[in-house]
Amino acid sequence: MKILFRNKDINSIKADVQIVFLEKKPSIKKLVGENDLETLEESGFFKDATDTFYVSSSKKLYLKLKEFEAEEIKVAAAKACSALKNFNFKSAKIEGYSDVELFCRAFAEGAILGSYSFDWYKSEKKESQLKSIHIASLLGRKSGVSEKSINEALEAASLVAENVNFVRDIVNSAPDDATPMQVASIAEKIAKDGGFECKVYDEKFLKSEEMGAFLSVARASAHPPRLVHMSYKPKGGKQPTKKIALIGKGLTYDSGGLSLKPSDYMVTMKADKAGACAVIGIMKSISKLNLNVEVHGVLGLCENMIGGNAYKPDDILRAKNKKTIEIRNTDAEGRLVLADVLCYIQDYFKKAGQQFDYIIDMATLTGACVVALGEYTSGVFGHNEKLKKMILSAAEDAGDLMAPLPFNKHLRKLIKSEVADISNCSSSRYGGAITAAMFLDEFIYDENKQKWAHLDIAGPAYVEKAWDYNPHGASGAPVRTIVEFIKKCEGK
């Protein structure tokens, strides 16, 4: 679907249907033409009966929104595109309001995200006939903002939204269609298309790097693990403003291992790769946006399965940084993979004699985070308050819901082990999201503590009901937030 802005009067644009946004306020009826007013009143549109109504005589689709604010515009745009799927219209138009550039960005994002549906495995597919939407307004011309600059901003917003949908596709893919090797191949293709480097390492490399925690999680699967290192650098030999490392948890399927999940909880565990998929989408976005930053995306890809050679509760594993880990629950596996991957990227920079500015890991790590914050909100952890605030600010601008959870020194004793350096599972049912983050903190080197942030995306990464402009299934979180964060870093 193509979305374009025109510095023209709405009436000069030809389209099959017009979308009309109406702000809920006492004067709402005055904003409707006389020809449609009676029809809308009869339908109950001005009451709470409905927020969307199509008037066939004028070929106008009316939608109510609380105010002309970015998130409201996104949701309304998603509702409009969803409603228009039921018609055969090929083109639509809408008038831009208030801050035209903000309106265009928000509308494009909401329309693209809201139009998403995952039908790969459906025998019958229902595709929208809508191919183009024109946003028209004379406000851009009056404010001195060029049509070109608004379209550039609109195009950038559309690109990120399309990559969110791309990530949704990978996360939603069935486990047998998204094995560690298959996801690694996707990352390689994205890197090739984007003109940046991607290296894929197999189990022999993991063994040579003494990544015992990662290897133990993977060893019972028929699909071998892969470590993927994507490296984007500014084109033309430019000096990057920042160097950032992104780490993604990529459990392409998680059965729980020998600490087997109940069957109801095992469904949707294809989504345990959401962190790694998000990193791929972020790398794809920044390469297309040609940002002046250096970004390393590292994915830990494997399956956590059962078998005669599965790792077991009571095992003692040795991570890349030589720390020993007592296994008390094999379903606390993502942190084991991340532990070795976090060590890998820190050692990579150390061996190269280089410094990085930030290291951010993202993972569907704990159900405890969902208990704490609900299904729609990601948890943000770390030692650096300024870094956490930067991420939260980027999330607010991008439209993702995030909230900080504090480290509490009294909880650290819950991951203490009597027989190893640390336990992979808390000895208490409380504070599980925090103790999981504290476990990861054990694998962040002292000199990098202030550079690190952990995002627990277990809540919003995959939700089995539609919400706002997010469909059933994968949401693509936190692609928009991290792209926004990197854009802000570029300007500093």
Pairing of strands 243-254, 294-304: parallel
Largest CA distance in the chain: 79
C-alpha closest to that of 458 among 441, 480, 437: 437
Half-sphere exposure of 459 (CA within 13 A, CB side): 21
Instruction: Tell me which of 335, 388, 451, 480 is the catalytic residue.
Output: 335
DSSP 3-state of 44: coil
C-alpha closest to that of 110 among 160, 172, 61: 160
- Please say whether the beta carbons of 277 and 203 come within 8 A: no
Q: Residue 201 has which token pair?
A: 């390492």
Give the span between the Cα atoms of 479 and 463, in whole angstroms: 16
| 226 catalytic residue (yes or no) | no
* Other C-beta atoms lying within 10 Å of the C-beta of residue 260: 13
Single-letter residue type at 116: Y
| 122 catalytic residue (yes or no) | no
Give the span between the Cα atoms of 211 and 300, in whole angstroms: 11
DSSP state of 467: B
Q: Residue 121 has which token pair?
A: 């495995």
Strand partners, 456: 363, 379
Instruction: Tell me which of 8, 199, 219, 261 is the catalytic residue.
Output: 261
Alpha helices in 46-89 (DSSP H): 70-84
Question: CA angle at residue 180 from 299 to 225, to 5 degrees?
Answer: 80
List residues with catalytic annotation. 261, 335
